[in-house]
Amino acid sequence: MKITDIKAREILDSRGNPTLEVSMMNDKGQSVVFGVPSGASTGEKEALERRDGDINRYNGMGVKNCVDEIENNLKEGLMRIPLGDQSEFDGALATFDPSEKKEKLGANTMLGLSGAYLKLSALSSGQKLWQYISEISKSGPSLPRIYANLINGGKHAPGLDIQEVMVVPKETRPSVAVEQIVSFRRELAKKLSEEYGESSLLIGDEGGFVPQNARHAKVLAIFSSIEGDFEIALDVAASSFYENGKYHFEGKDVTAEELGGWYQANSNNILSVEDPFEEHDSESFANLASNASFFVIGDDLTVTSATLIDEFATKSAISGVIIKPNQIGTISETLAAVAAAQASDVKIIVSHRSGETNDDFIADLACGIGAFGIKIGAPVRGERVAKYNRLLQIEKEGL
């Protein structure tokens, strides 16, 4: 089966910025679309997005050059590749841009094409997307635990230094876990309103509440006061408040050792802590991981790179890793990162980005590779709800 058409267009993400959507059709008349997300909190070693830079359009954030690149330069050659061979397709993309950080095409251009090709290959095979991903990744499919970001801070909203406070039901069946998250969120809203006023119920980039003048320990205490079979997860994104060798945390400068002590002192019911230190301080990651009762998760540290995941897992700096396809550029490279994590026996958590689209691909990815968890934000914004609803559908499909 073959590709008969490839189109691209500029759409808006959940922050109102332009992003890329790629559509692809096969010779049966079947078609798919893939919307590319965009992150605000990004690692230094992430693959780069391509933006137009025209300050008169979207303040330079447009992606018309990506659209033109696909339709005028890439389309003809890529359409010659038969469906069903992800490595060949992604290898062809790499010939157009072999750079490690995707400086020429941009990770957004490459992921849009690579993701659309994956979806169309699955559709052409007659399989569900998660089934096809399981097959090509040689992974056992399973339902992940849902990481629901119910408090936003850091680069996602004003207020807390820690970027995300998440509730994680122990139940993996979406039909149960989603209901638990919604119920938890209602109770959380009541408690935050009582403690910080109605303004705390405003929401950030990922749909979480935004309490002002709150202390992290108090927020964690409020989470723990709500009944339910769940754990708590943090995405600290510590690079965002690190400068000149210190972390500016809760209004004062602290050392890595002091910050690590805070995590340990507040570890009750904590399942995992993501990016607890800035991305160059792997030694502090390792020190925390060797003593912590929770999983230490790499994101800015590892940026969905098989090489970096292997390196920091070998150094015992991480016990889990975030997988974000747009950090690396293609589906093949994403699955290589997954394989590296599986080989090192570290937990895999597939993640959305703060600038999301309504594409629900990551739900199929998490289920197909048998990920430990999936980060999808709060169940209140359309681009996040799309992922919740897809998980519910996948459960109905028999996983």
Question: Catalytic one among 46, 171, 206, 279?
Answer: 206
User: Could you tell me the CA-to-CA distances from 157 to 153, 202, 383 in Å, in that order?
Assistant: 5, 10, 17
Residue 71 among the catalytic residues: no
Are the beta carbons of 28 and 1 closer than 8 angstroms?
A: yes
Angle between helices 129-137 and 331-344 (to 10 degrees): 60
Alpha helices in 100-242 (DSSP H): 107-125, 129-137, 174-196, 216-225
User: Could you tell me the CA-to-CA distances from 267 to 151, 231, 242, 272, 291 in Å, in that order?
Assistant: 17, 11, 22, 9, 12
**Cα distance between residue 54 and residue 197, in whole Å:** 42
Please report where in the chains the tokens 């293609």 appear, as a residue.
330
- How does 13-48 read in b/e, with b if 16+ C-beta sit within 10 Å? bbbebbbbbbbbbbeeeebbbbbbbbbbbbbebbbb
Are the beta carbons of 152 and 204 closer than 8 angstroms?
A: yes
**Cα distance between residue 87 and residue 361, in whole Å:** 19
Quote the Cα angle for 113-312-118, to 5°: 15
**Beta-carbon-side half-sphere exposure of residue 263 (alpha carbons within 13 Å):** 32
Residue 324 among the catalytic residues: yes
Are the beta carbons of 182 and 379 closer than 8 angstroms?
A: yes
**Cα distance between residue 169 and residue 177, in whole Å:** 6
Adjacent-strand bridge partners of 167? 148, 232
Question: Catalytic one among 324, 347, 375, 387?
Answer: 324
Are the beta carbons of 146 and 394 closer than 8 angstroms?
A: no
Question: Rounded to 5 degrees, what are φ and ψ at 288?
Answer: -70, -45
Q: Could you give the residue numbers annotated as active site?
A: 206, 324
